Structure 1
Amino acid sequence: MAWEPSKFQVSLPDDFLPLLNQRNTNVSLDEQVKVTLAVGLFLEKKVTLARAAELAGKSLSDFIDYLSDRGIAWMEYTEEDRRLDDQTISKLLAEEGEKDA
């Protein structure tokens, strides 16, 4: 199914409307949906953080703030990252200890 690039219509159950209205009365429903879709695509790893921010119509820093405010991790810190950090810290501490000796 092909969508018109600039707009298309989605049918939602009536139960969604009161919940969406509670979220932020200063932001249009279109804006809320756009940001929510961008967040979803980012979380599914379909788009990068920068691309999600662009799709949401936000600057990268504003998008990161949006995610952070909602407790959504915006970067990954893997076990490999931790291992490398631990090695670096150990090395720096050892070098510092050699200087003090």
Structure 2
Amino acid sequence: MPSDPSKFLVELPSELIPILDQLGFGQTSNERVIISIAIGLYTGHVVSLARAAEIAGKTLHQFIDILRQRNISWIHYDEAEFADDAGFVKEFMSDSGHEHHEGSSV
């Protein structure tokens, strides 16, 4: 039976296992390692929040909850992201007919 090339065996130091167990997420050691890698990739700004959640095998909401439990900020905004979001909101508001007008309370 051919092995899956995306899977490989990693030997972890025995002292790392209790640390992974203490993290409180994932049912198996394998899940805990994958979630830890996803967190590391996200906090290292290697992948987006959505991609990290996908790597972890979690929904975006579940992954954000894991980050919150670990006191890890999940909101990282740089100027480019802010500009993208501002453009989207402006487009959304004009498309939906809910443009904010000066003096309105919307």
TM-score in terms of structure 2 length: 0.62
Partner of 2:30: 30
Aligned residues: 80
Higher helix proportion, which one? Answer: 1
Give how far 1:18 is off: 2.6
> Hey, what's the Cα distance between the residues in 1 that align with 2:25 and 2:42?
24
Structure 1 residue 20, shift from structure 2 partner: 2.6
Q: Which structure 2 segments of 5+ residues have no match?
A: 83-101
Quickly say closer, same or farther: Cα 1:22–1:71, change in 2 above 3 A: closer
The 2-side partners of 1:66 and 1:25 are apart by 7
* 4+ aligned runs moved over 3 Å, structure 1: 21-26
In the other structure, the counterpart of 2:99 is none
Answering whether residue 52 of structure 2 is matched by residue 60 of structure 1, we say no
Aligned partners of 2:50 and 2:60 also within 8 Å: yes
Greater RCO, 1 or 2 (C-alpha within 8 Å, sep 6+)? 1
- TM-score using structure 1 length: 0.65
Provide the residue aligned with 2:5 in structure 1: 4
Match of 2:17 in 1: 17
Deviation at 1:49, TM superposition (A): 0.3
Give distance in 2, aligned partners of 1:44 and 1:26: 21
User: Which of the pair has more CA radius of gyration?
Assistant: 1
